[in-house]
Amino acid sequence: MQKKDRRHQALADMLPHLIRDRGWEVQLDLHSVFQNWQKIIDLETSEHCRPLKISRGVLWLEVDNSAWLQQLQFQKHHILDTINATLKKSTLQDIKLSLPKGRSAQKIQRGPALRFIPPPADEVAAFERQIAFITDEQCREALLRFWYLAHACKSEE
């Protein structure tokens, strides 16, 4: 085995233990919602709302306008059940809806706003090729989620 391959294998062997030892499995599972949003929610709904953050078991969604906010309020329990059905090690307790900054009468979210901007598909594919040597599928998916969220969540400061 070449030296580079041994280093990759060492990392591949270490990553699942690191994730488990640090207790990141549940958080990674919860944040898979960001990466899989368009797969979890129907296309029309996903075009009008985006996940902003998860805080204390609550998923915050930004909704395009007040009409969609009201519509999603009626569908909230169904959406929550749909999302929780995709999670493997965690569950969300609630969903909160907010309008984009400047459109709501009261400030719902404190601190800098986050925008979820998916990285281009070719960049995702390139990173997937870079980590393809990791044989543990869960470990590979966890690393991909870390990378994806680091590139997709942009702060508006």
Q: Which domain holds residue 53?
A: 3-156
Please write the tens of the pLDDT for every residue from 92-103.
999 999 998 765
pLDDT at position 6? 67
Cα–Cα dist 68/64, whole Å: 7
Pick the more confident residue, 83 or 150. 83
Total domain count, the chain: 1
pTM for this one?
A: 0.59
**Which residue would you say has higher pLDDT here, 87 or 153?**
87
Q: Work out the average pLDDT over 103-119.
A: 57
Q: Taking residues 97-118, what's their average pLDDT?
A: 64
Q: What is the CATH classification number for the domain harbouring 101? A: 3.30.300.180
Share of the chain above pLDDT 90, in %: 31
Query: Residue 84 and residue 15: Cα distance in Å, rounded?
Result: 25
pLDDT tens track for 28-83: 888 889 888 989 998 888 889 999 999 889 999 999 999 999 999 999 999 999 99
More confidently predicted of 128 and 22:
128
Task: Give the pLDDT of residue 106.
Answer: 42
**pLDDT value of position 72:** 93
The answer, yes or no, to whether residue 144 has pLDDT greater than 80, is yes
Average pLDDT, the chain: 82
